[in-house]
Amino acid sequence: MVTALAGAVAALLVFVAQGIVAYVGLLVYAVITDAGLGGQLAGPFLVLLAGGLGVALAPLVFVPAGLAGEAATKGGRLPLKLLIASAVAAVLATIYVAVLAAATDVPTVSTVLACLGGVVAVLAPTTVYVGVAHGVLHTSWIWRRLQASASAVRRI
């Protein structure tokens, strides 16, 4: 439970950071092309939107993908967990974006591009989720081993 919570918080922070980077990129693009900047609240609103979307995506994408990677490897190596979790996250993101696009009657080409964008957007947070969850799990295992060793030494 603690591993999933720590991973979800880390994934949320990465997703919000991606929102900030996207806003800065859009701001630079607007300045270079002499387009409108979107007003004073554009930046905070975009970051708030990314945070809200990240909160929704944590239980819908990051946690299931991380749990699938953990279950498939049964506590195995981190690279294999990352590979499986990234694949599951990519599939889930594609499904969610395609359903949303179909519900809003978006053209096919735009749907494909949105699905690709969704896949790209969830890969970094999923990687962070799996890394943090793996690290917390590994750290707790080491901590238990140290406590068992310390109690064994005290008995002597």
Tens-place pLDDT, residues 108-137: 899 999 899 889 989 999 999 999 988 888
* Neighbouring residues of 78: CB distance < 8 A, sequence distance ≥ 6: 130, 131, 134
CB 104 within 8 A of CB 149: no
The residue written with tokens 């080409």 in the block is 109
CB 65 within 8 A of CB 86: yes
Confidence of residue 51 (pLDDT cuts 50, 70, 90): confident
Radius of gyration of the chain (CA): 20
Task: Give the pLDDT confidence score for residue 123 in this predicted structure.
Answer: 92
User: Residue 55: which of 88, 19, 21, 25 has the closest Cα?
Assistant: 19
Task: Give the pLDDT confidence score for residue 25 in this predicted structure.
Answer: 84
